[in-house]
Amino acid sequence: MKYSLLTKEQFEALHDKFAVFLASQQIDANEWETIKSKQPEVAEQELEVFSDFVWETILTKVAYLEHYSKQHLNLFYCGDNEIKRIYIKISNPDTDLSSSEGLDWLQKNLNNEAVELFKGAKKYSKERNLELFELIEKGSEISEGKLYKFISQSIG
């Protein structure tokens, strides 16, 4: 398995897509029930293949990731060949970057001495989608990139 197995909740949310996936392999609902009860290892393989398919589809579309903590913020632009990162560290203990109030404060105080900004870029050291998946597994969230674009334009 390349990524991770979807959760029960994720499978339930993708029930219709999973049914289409099974149908593409000529497996109907009755046959699926038989496979689950009599060949659980085959059922597990089908779930793994579907999970990888879903992750691959999602990760291929990802352009931005964000990872928040109280005093640190990592913003990523995920290009085809490289990933760009804006790292923000604040030394103001009263500001929590994981809250909307903290982000409002940051946007108004980018030039404040309590804010340290770093920019960088690197080529992917392994397959792009695997690196993005690892960032998500470590707590990054997929985003539309509004904050990345705002800060990138603000700092040049």
With helix as H, strand as E and coil as C, how does 15-61 read? HHHHHHHHHCCCCCHHHHHHHHHHCHHHHHHHHHHHHHHHHHHHHHH
Q: How far is CA 32 from the centre of its chain?
A: 30
pLDDT digits (tens, 9 = 90+) for 1-32: 999 999 999 999 999 999 999 999 899 989 99
Specify the pTM: 0.87
Average pLDDT over residues 66-85: 97
- Answer yes or no: is pLDDT of 156 > 80: no
State residue 102's pLDDT score: 94
State residue 38's pLDDT score: 93
For 66, phi then psi, to 5°, come to: -135, 140
State residue 155's pLDDT score: 82
Average pLDDT over residues 123-147: 96
- pLDDT above 70 as % of the chain: 100
State residue 147's pLDDT score: 94
pLDDT digits (tens, 9 = 90+) for 52-66: 999 999 999 999 999
